[in-house]
Amino acid sequence: DNYGRDDPEKTAKVKALYEELDVRGIYTRYEKQSYQRLLTLINQHCTKLPREVFLAFAQKIYKRDK
């Protein structure tokens, strides 16, 4: 009933629920774990290709806003 509505009260309810569920914290942990996994895979599998290219891509997508 509240999600996707153009009503400040409904928007506030959705934001409060997100905070209660710690959606930002969950995403931050997921992002960090995914980045670490990606770095591990790059280090394990980049034997013939330049590792720096893949590391540069990984750094560009880590903690981006969009």
Tell me the pLDDT tens digit for each residue of 44-60.
Answer: 988 888 899 999 999 99
CA 46 to chain centre: 24
Q: How far, CA to CA in Å, does 18 sit from each of 21, 22, 62? A: 5, 6, 22
Number of structural domains found in the chain: 1
49 belongs to a structural domain: yes
60 belongs to a structural domain: yes
| DSSP letter, residue 6 | S
The dihedral built from the CA positions of residue 37, 38, 39 and 40, taken in this order, carries a sign that is positive
48 belongs to a structural domain: yes
45 belongs to a structural domain: yes
Q: State the average pLDDT for the chain.
A: 93
Report the predicted TM-score, pTM, of the whole model to 2 decimal places.
Answer: 0.73
Using CA atoms, how far apart are residues 36 and 32, in angstroms rounded to an integer? 6
User: What's the domain range around 28?
Assistant: 23-66
